[in-house]
Structure 1
């Protein structure tokens, strides 16, 4: 499934930041009474199809559209500017009010900055302590509003966030290594459509869709990225869409922390279980008969060019944000970066890395000198056995020598 959105202009959101600042604040609690409130506003570049109405974030005017799995829905997304606490906290209390008439819904999520990267998004209930994936002094709130094709518009308002010591230990944490699973991949296509984060799909585009918003990157970001490999090629791509089939199937997480389907093993998509084993009566979360076992959708550039697939196929997917390890970010203005089998431009192309994608770095070596967005360098990064990218195009620190 793919949820469609239209981006709200950055200028319009920026103009309303002052209005929001009075309402979207870091509010002290009895356990943090000395904390000074910090103003928070919507991040214009990380929001789509939302409007500001005083202190409320309201679903915008974009019409419903048919996604990859033929679910029609109006939807909007807003990320608020991250806030900082005076000291690290292991839990927060997020307060807010909502209006959800006529079958609409509103969700508020939070995430924490840990080990130099963002944790996965976690849904929160207003006024209820929510444990973070680890102690952090840097958190962010996200709002998602959903509605049927016609009718009223849901909204969220009066958002506050504060540290607390009154929450159970988090069940979400980084693994020693990112999860890798063997899943069925389908081609998304839909050129000219709009993804769940507001990206307009281009010809031969580079991104993927996963069936949960917990790992959805904002438009232009690679915070949540995957490595997708066949026997001979790999693609490194940001997660910019939601689907296929489900929207609450974070199957890469341990069973006990999955949003739904907690009786399924980690790494197995619900659609795969439904298709192969008749799980849930062979249906997805919307009651539709599952016609294939897909656990990931690939944009055309990933499908045809990076992986050179001719048909839907089984692939190995590594969900890079679920584990620790060295990382770099592809720093190009558009398109993709070639991945080669040697640290020079004469090496055969064995994959591609999309704009803003994170790439796992095993080590670095010297090779051909290249000039790119990060300057001129003869350093190449090994991102998979036998696969290299020029560091001149990767925003990253230094790594051990291969």
Structure 2
């Protein structure tokens, strides 16, 4: 990412003296396309940003990140997907804006996989294009703006994206071939209850009473508002599980994608071990998180109140098994409607078979289809895990699902 930053408080269009020009991205191995993102027509405040005359700024006082120090403001502007003529597997970002001391202006990019799901968000840094997990013809970007407590926020006035494909990636299949789906990453982590009813999550969702979503300590898996692009299942020792979307960032850290083999931060830690857990249990980083705060619990995931109390029926913070659904392959369905649905141990609508929940817009894995009791307009049910079934009528699907 190349950033051209004009001196703060002297934003004259013709003034370039004193501007900071960071290194340009390395030459493309196989140029595919380049385009300037249209910001002039965007006028919304859904993620604590405003766009005025083509300039993106933080809206008002913004929000305080769950994982960041108090009063630090953060805003996210999700841009429309872009369809490309040829596949790319990396995207560079050149932006023009103003970044005062203590502020940050970043661009994340993701690509649509062959199966219709998205890769994780990857930041396009100065001189380092965002490397996507698979070649793609559809990319999407988002701008992340943040400011120090009481400090001025950044401004984004122009954004140009360019995609290319490295020669080695062009010859490789975009995704593993074969009929057997790859299992998603799954780890045992400590869960805490988020609360914060009435507050706003990192993707702009207003938290309601007994809400259903999760927060993970990295924005790489942050789903856009009202989507389940990145969904986890959390299973408690009492046998209950819930599928819910990732709508917030935290706890403790904001760049700790501990579920990935190649982590954005804390590469010295093994996969699946949250940095907060390592700091709390073993004194990693002097017992502090990325912001220098003393870690007082080993939390690697936050659960909204409804998921905590109703979905998993927890009464205190507890260790749970978390599966990061988007890291696997195979068919998935999207929970429709406005209400959570009950998950059953059998394709039956009885209280005795209830063993969890699935949240609207969450993506659930579809292992197979079977016949059971009539529910939601059909006798068809999907198996979403071992001894886990949901009515077909509450799940939107785009592919044929094999019989159980």
- TM-score computed with the length of structure 1 as normaliser: 0.84
Task: Tell me whether 1:395 sits opposite 2:396 in the alignment.
Answer: yes
Match for residue 284 of structure 1 among 276, 285, 289: 289
Tell me which residue corresponds to 2:318: 313
Could you tell which deviates more after superposition, 45-54 or 107-116? 45-54
SS in 1 for 2:93: strand
1:17 is aligned to none
Post-superposition CA distance 1:145-185 (Å, at most 9, x none):
00123231212231122222458869x98893211000000
Conservation of the 8 A alpha-carbon contact between 1:274 and 1:283: yes
Q: Which residue of 1 aligns with 2:207?
A: 201
Tell me the distance in 2 between the aligned counterparts of 1:381 and 1:312. 31
Whether the aligned pair in 1 keeps the contact of 2:258 and 2:274 (CA below 8 Å) is: yes
Check whether the contact 2:49–2:62 (CA below 8 A) recurs between aligned residues: no
Task: Output aligned runs, 1:2-401, within 5 Å.
Answer: 32=31, 40=38, 47-65=46-64, 67=66, 71-114=70-113, 115-125=115-125, 128-165=128-165, 176-231=182-237, 232-254=239-261, 257-333=262-338, 335-346=339-350, 348-371=353-376, 376-396=377-397, 397-401=399-403
Q: Secondary structure at the match of 2:308?
A: helix
249 and 187 in structure 1: CA distance in 2 versus 1, 3 angstrom threshold: same
Q: What is the RMSD computed on CA atoms of the aligned residues?
A: 2.7
Could you tell me whether the CA contact under 8 Å between 1:225 and 1:236 is conserved in 2? yes
**C-alpha displacement at 1:102, in angstroms?**
2.7
Distance 1:178 1:275 in 2: 27
Task: Return the alpha-carbon distance in structure 2 between the equivalents of residues 101 and 235 of structure 1.
Answer: 42
| Alignment partners' CA distance in 2, 1:150 and 1:156 | 19
**Cα distance per residue 1:202-236 (max 9 Å; x no partner):** 11110000000000011111000001002311000
Q: Give the length in aligned residue pairs.
A: 366
Counterpart CA distance in 2 for 1:44 and 1:207 is 27
How far 1:62 moved relative to its partner? 3.1
Gap change, CA 1:166 and 1:70, over 3 Å in 2: closer
Q: CA deviation at 1:97?
A: 1.8
Shift, 1:327, TM fit: 0.7
Matched with 1:21 is: none
Does the CA-based 8 Å contact 2:37-2:161 persist in structure 1? no
TM-score (norm 2): 0.84
Cα distance change, pair 45–398 in 1 and its aligned pair in 2 (3 A):
farther
**Cα pair 1:131 1:168 within 8 Å, conserved:** no
The answer to whether the 8 Å contact 2:43/2:51 transfers is: no
Instruction: Tell me the SS of whatever aligns to 1:274.
Output: helix
Check 1:192–1:228 CA distance in 2 against 1; reply closer, same or farther (3 A cut): same
1:40: how far off? Answer: 4.7
Contact 1:94 1:124 in 2 (8 A): yes
Q: SS at 1:197's partner residue?
A: coil
Deviations 1:319-369 (A, max 9, x none): 011111221111112x31111122122252210111211111221101123
Relative distance call for 1:218 and 1:44 in structure 2 (3 A) is farther
1:75 positional shift? 1.2
Distance (whole Å) between structure 2 residues aligned to residue 364 and residue 148 of structure 1: 51
User: What SS does structure 1 have at the residue aligned with 2:112?
Assistant: strand
What is the SS of the residue equivalent to 1:359?
strand
The whole-number CA distance in structure 2 between the counterparts of 1:206 and 1:275 is: 27
**What whole-Å deviation, never above 9, does each CA across 1:353-397 have from its counterpart, x for those lacking one?**
1121111122110112333xxxx3221011111111101010113
